[in-house]
Amino acid sequence: MFKNLFSLILVGLLLAGAPAQATVTPEQDDSSGQKVEQRHPVTILISIDGFRPDYLDRGITPNLNALAATGIYGPMRPSFPSKTFPNHWTLVTGKTPDHHGIVGNTMEDAARPGEVFKMSTQDPFWWNQAEPVWITAEKQGIRSATMFWPGSEVDFNGVRPADWWPFNQKLSNDRRINAIVDWMRRPADIRPRLVTLYFDTVDTAGHYYGPAPSEKLHAAIAEVDGEIGRLKQQLDDLGQPVNFVIASDHGMTETSPDRIIYLDRIMARDQYRLVESGNYLAIEPLEDNRDAVRAAFLRPHEHMQCWDRENIPEALGYGTNPRVPSIFCLVETGWVVLQDVPEWMTGIGGGHGYDHRDPDMMAFFLSSGPAIRADGQLPVFDNVNIYSLVARLAGVNPVASDGSLAPFEQSLRP
Ligand SMILES: [Zn+2]
């Protein structure tokens, strides 16, 4: 009877697509005779927003450097546009922004006239062109938990991470770490196997002070490095093995009030709808003046080049998604295009959103843990591949994506 019941449960698990592994945690004696729980490794995907690969070489990141020394790391090419939401969604779906539908931090869709997607939008309509790894995990019986990530609060047909918190920028990095450690203290059956963690402070400092060495930028970098070190130490103390995947969404380049393209010099602002401006330009003509707007923007401009959506160069991998605005302009790295110059823009700052192949836009990647060999720096790869790595480490059977395990294959332990 018991045996039959067990078989039924096993068959049920296999049918549900759960990985073939024990669902109970074995305990065994260690040398001191105490019961020690043998914990299954957890996969923790950490985003350090706006962390440039060269920040690792500034002598202020001992914890990240220690992880790099035991794993793999290097610069990673973001997807276009090199903005926060498009690339965070790429990291967890394995698809380019053109394919996953988060084509900008702000965007429109002809199916929802008058509506604008903003970073606080949680309506699944905007997000469900691709499935994030935590949803696939949950569907396969792998418990997930998100300590923030763009899109992590979105309901996918009733499925969400088992644990998630509404985004709150004011929640200190310290408390974000404490929450994760608390999750990992739980009994095995309600302990997450896949966790995401998001740090915004390095990006914020980069925007305010620029990416060059400065006391304030370096304080932000050092603080995040310290938190990651504290997280690792606390999980080590628990006996919790961790496969870390640490990534950024894009790099950062210096901007200046001396490098501004003034939109009002190109066309009066009441002649078109501004969807997004700054490090690139996304506009929609009004209903009756498409020809005039095209004539004004598609002609040559200094430090900026514009195209109809259909003619955006193939190398950017952008323009097949109907959410890409009908006129799109790439801005020369380090320049900004604006209607009004914000008050705070009085000196050197930082920005991103430019050509994703520009060295300054390169994102950062690091992975370390029991599943990863100490192979050191990897050749540059595209960020669509991170999804495959996270899925493999967490035991998730991945859905179709634009990436693969190829960049990491030789560095994975069997
Ligand atoms: Zn960002």
Distance 151 CA to ligand 1 centre (A): 14
Q: pLDDT tens string for the chain (414 positions)?
A: 333 433 433 333 333 333 333 333 444 444 555 566 789 999 999 999 999 999 999 999 999 999 999 999 999 999 999 999 999 999 999 999 999 999 999 999 999 999 999 989 999 999 999 999 999 999 999 999 999 999 999 999 999 999 999 888 899 999 999 999 999 999 999 999 999 999 999 999 999 999 999 999 999 999 999 999 999 999 999 999 999 999 999 999 999 999 999 999 999 999 999 999 999 999 999 989 999 999 999 999 999 999 999 999 999 999 999 999 999 999 999 999 999 988 878 899 999 999 999 999 999 999 999 999 999 999 999 999 999 999 999 999 999 999 999 999 999 998
Q: How remote is the CA of residue 338 from the centroid of ligand 1, in Å?
A: 20
Task: Cite the active site residues.
Answer: 84
Ligand 1 centroid vs 261 CA: distance in angstroms? 22
Q: Give the residue among 205, 219, 215, 251 at the shortest CA–CA distance from 349.
A: 205
Q: Which of 22, 7, 2, 25 is nearest to 141 (CA)?
A: 22
For residue 57, give the DSSP letter.
G
State the span(s) of the chain assigned CATH 3.30.1360.180.
257-346
Q: pTM for the full model? A: 0.91
What type of residue sits at position 138? Answer: E
For the domain 257-346, what is the CATH code? 3.30.1360.180
Instruction: Tell me where in the chain the CATH 3.40.720.10 domain(s) lie.
Output: 42-252+356-411
Q: How far is the CA of 153 from the centre of ligand 1 (A)?
A: 18
Superfamily (CATH) of domain 42-252+356-411:
Alkaline Phosphatase, subunit A (3.40.720.10)
Distance from the alpha carbon of residue 370 to the mean position of ligand 1, in angstroms: 29
Q: Are 146 and 394 in contact (CB under 8 A)?
A: no
Q: How many whole angstroms separate alpha carbon 368 and alpha carbon 358?
A: 27
Q: How many angstroms separate the alpha carbon of residue 174 from the centre of ligand 1?
A: 20
CA of 90 to the centre of ligand 1 (A): 12
Report the DSSP pairing between strands 253-255 and 349-351. antiparallel
